[in-house]
Amino acid sequence: LALLGLISTAWTIKYEAMDETDPDLDDRFEKANEKSLLWGPYRPNLYLGIRSRLPESLIAGLVWFRADDYSSVGDARHQCDSRDDMETFGWMDYDPRAGGSESIEDTKMGLSLKADFVKTGGGENWGLRVQGTAKDKNAITSLVFYAGTEGKDNALIIRSEKDTPELVHGHEVSFFGYSESLGGPFLLNVTEGRKSRHPKHGVLKDKALDPSKTHHVSLIVPDDNLWKAKDIFFVLLKENMNSIHDVEELKTIPPQEILQLKNPGLNDGNLHLVQKTFKGNFEIVVTFNMMETDDQITVDNFSSRKDSALKRLREKFNRKFQLERPFNKGKYITFAKEILSQLMGGIGYFYGDQLVDRLTNLDEVNTQLDGKPEGPHNLFSCVPSRTFFPRGFYWDEGFQLMPILQYDSDLALDIIKSWFSLIDGSGWIAREQILGEEARSGVPDEFVVQNPNIANPPTMMMIFSQLLHLANHREQFVPTDDFADKFTLNWDGGDGDDTLGDVHLTNPDVLNSYAADIYPKLQLHYEWFRSTQRGDTLGRRCKNLEEIYRWKGRDEDHCLPSGLDDYPRCSADTAELDVDLLSWMGVMTRSMAAIAKLLDETEDAELYSQRLGDIKANLEDLHWSSENQTYCDVTVNDDEEDIFECHLGYVSLMPFVHRLISPDSPHLIHILNDIRNPEKLWTDYGIRSLSKQDEYFHEGEDYWRGHIWVNMNYLILDALYYYGKRPNSTPEVKSLTNEIYTKLRENVVENVYREYRRTGYAWEQYNEETGEGQRTKNFLGWTSLVVLMMKMPESLV
């Protein structure tokens, strides 16, 4: 009885607390969230590039090269580049709010680098430690750490070694800075580990080139050139070379004596380069501290901070990602943690203008886009590949956020908000976000310009449905008195207190306010899809001609908007109707209905539900080919009759993967049979993008024409799970889904795991014959969905 009393008291307290709405709650959450995500390796195109997520503040990066040999200078490391042949690299242990570790196996340079990045609990201060292990104990490696400030309200000046040092004799270089956007004065220190050794000064009489000393140069550079710090460094070095006129003399000088910055005596500027040259192993530590904060990062407390960051990550990971059989073993857990960390370690902050052509009509032949700059915009986003595609891609992002939603849902929502803030007045978002000069420098001209009629699958809408599902299955959040304090990360406690991370999920008020905030933009975006991608009615007859769709802006061999670039489609023609797009519109409409319902927008919710019904009906009436027993694109023949264009593969599976078919539909069994048929879609490594029997199988570019992609395999698994669990699925469907699900999950994960161990990388796609990773390596984007697959149950029964 006493116990009962206690429970009921607890219940009342909880109930009362829930009743008191706190108007500031949302605000306090926003602030704490902002701060804890302020700093990070948010320049994912670089091996090591730190910046804040503010348009103008401080950016930093690291360059390294072998200084004992002129021939390797041209291979200096900075931007992730496949030609560097890193055995592997990436943030293998990483939490975006706490920090973590990156490993870089630079085999060609005989160097193994480990970088640790930590942040203080409040998120204002950070530290970076880089440790190098050289294979050859006499190898000479030069490191250039640089920091630059952007914007007129930000400044950085050197303050050590009195005023104009000829050389820095000590090994610490210290900067004093001030930033309006960061909120005050700060100190930036660059120092080195006590055990580091330096090459001796040898032949040269010019003491200013002594490689045993730390060198630095400060200069004034236009803001939009800061990203070229590596090139600037090499321009400065060239001057040393040029100062020696006698080629014979040059040959007698050890390269490390020429390859040094020569201090020109300037102490201020907006770009500062600090160069250190080491013999054998080395260590450098960079600390950034806002002066008016108590919790300062120092060389002495760095290690313990790093240890607690890693501990937090491991505990949180183990709590949130309990892997299911047969993947509940050490080797898979390490794999999953590394993959998720690399995905989150690839999150970037991008700022700049983008090129848009708003005038060209895409239905005209041979269109040449002509871009005008728009912006500047900013975007906080994951990237598909730090090496090849280090920028935001709209439909990749929804997939990339799925694992993150499970680890830190507040972060996933923050990223979505950033994307949706880019929705323009007409409701459009560019498919590929190429913001600023640095981003453009990595993209061939013909891909740079974006056009406001081009769509891309609205995958981020799936995140909303998943979120609302998660929210309904979470315990309610109870605000406590010390709520504000709990919003900062608690290092010392080590009790895995991660209040920040799931606030939206556990607090209905915060969730509602987020949804209300974003809803008008979503409506605009959704209506943009409906109006710009609507198909031609021609003489067609079906229940609702409003819900028919065609991807705009494709050419004869490519439908880039669909995301499935070269997948065989109808011959490009305005009569075409695309079954994948209709399915995506179903996804979008369903999510809109759920959000409208959450917000008590009853009329909207009803309208969306009715449209969803129309979409489902059109899938059956217009797109199901009873001859082929599959869903197909549709076009018209010369007699203006609808005809099917059927290519079995990812496009035809779309109504199924998005659960738009009724569980008792007789079509299901045909789809399942195609999926498990090795002569059509089934392989031992995952589901093929295109049927082995299709006439275009492996033809042409062979990009989406047979090989295996993890994003679609994830959706297939998810749909198998869904249909396998429906009470009204037939017994036949139940047993078939279970059989396929269990094998497919194992096949895909096992193969991606095997290839990761064999090659050191996650890949863009996997060969349907051999399972080998291919196309782009270091592709953590949607390939990281294997992490969620490991978390799914082993079987449906």
Distance in Å, CB of 679 to ligand 6A9, minimum = 26
252/384 Cα distance (integer angstroms): 47
Q: How does 629-639 read in b/e, with b if 16+ C-beta sit within 10 Å?
A: bbbbbbbbeee
Distance in Å, CB of 457 to ligand 6A9, minimum = 9
567/288 Cα distance (integer angstroms): 49
Picking from 55, 152, 44, 723, the residue whose alpha carbon sits closest to that of residue 418 is 55
Question: Which residues, at least 6 apart from 238, have a Cβ–Cβ distance to it below 8 Å?
Answer: none
Question: Which residues, at least 6 apart from 12, have a Cβ–Cβ distance to it below 8 Å?
Answer: none
590/593 Cα distance (integer angstroms): 5
Picking from 762, 767, 761, 759, the residue whose alpha carbon sits closest to that of residue 782 is 762
- Measure Cα distances from 567 to 517, 529, 580, 699 in Å: 37, 21, 11, 10
61/51 Cα distance (integer angstroms): 9
Are 595 and 515 within 8 A, CB to CB? yes
Question: Which residues, at least 6 apart from 19, have a Cβ–Cβ distance to it below 8 Å?
Answer: none
Tokens of 241: 């070379």
- For 519, half-sphere exposure in the C-beta direction (CA atoms, 13 angstrom radius) is 19
CA 35 to chain centre: 20
DSSP string, 210-227: -TTSBEEEEE---GGGGG
671/586 Cα distance (integer angstroms): 19
Residue 775 amino acid letter = R
Beta-bridged to residue 214, according to DSSP, are: 168
CB neighbourhood size of 446 (10 A): 8
102/118 Cα distance (integer angstroms): 12
In this complex, which beta carbon is closest to ligand 6A9, that of residue 312 or of residue 707? 707
In this complex, which beta carbon is closest to ligand 6A9, that of residue 371 or of residue 442? 442
Question: Which residues, at least 6 apart from 412, have a Cβ–Cβ distance to it below 8 Å?
Answer: 401, 404, 405, 463, 467
Beta-bridged to residue 117, according to DSSP, are: 100, 128
Strands 58-66 and 140-149, how do they pair?
antiparallel
Distance in Å, CB of 394 to ligand 6A9, minimum = 8
Strands (E), 135-238: 140-149, 154-158, 173-179, 184-192, 215-219
Distance in Å, CB of 398 to ligand 6A9, minimum = 11
Residues annotated catalytic, as ranges: 565, 764
The residues binding ligand 6A9 (CB under 6 A) are 384, 388-389, 393, 395-396, 442-444, 447, 563, 565, 781
In this complex, which beta carbon is closest to ligand 6A9, that of residue 453 or of residue 765? 765
339/756 Cα distance (integer angstroms): 10
In this complex, which beta carbon is closest to ligand 6A9, that of residue 258 or of residue 712? 712
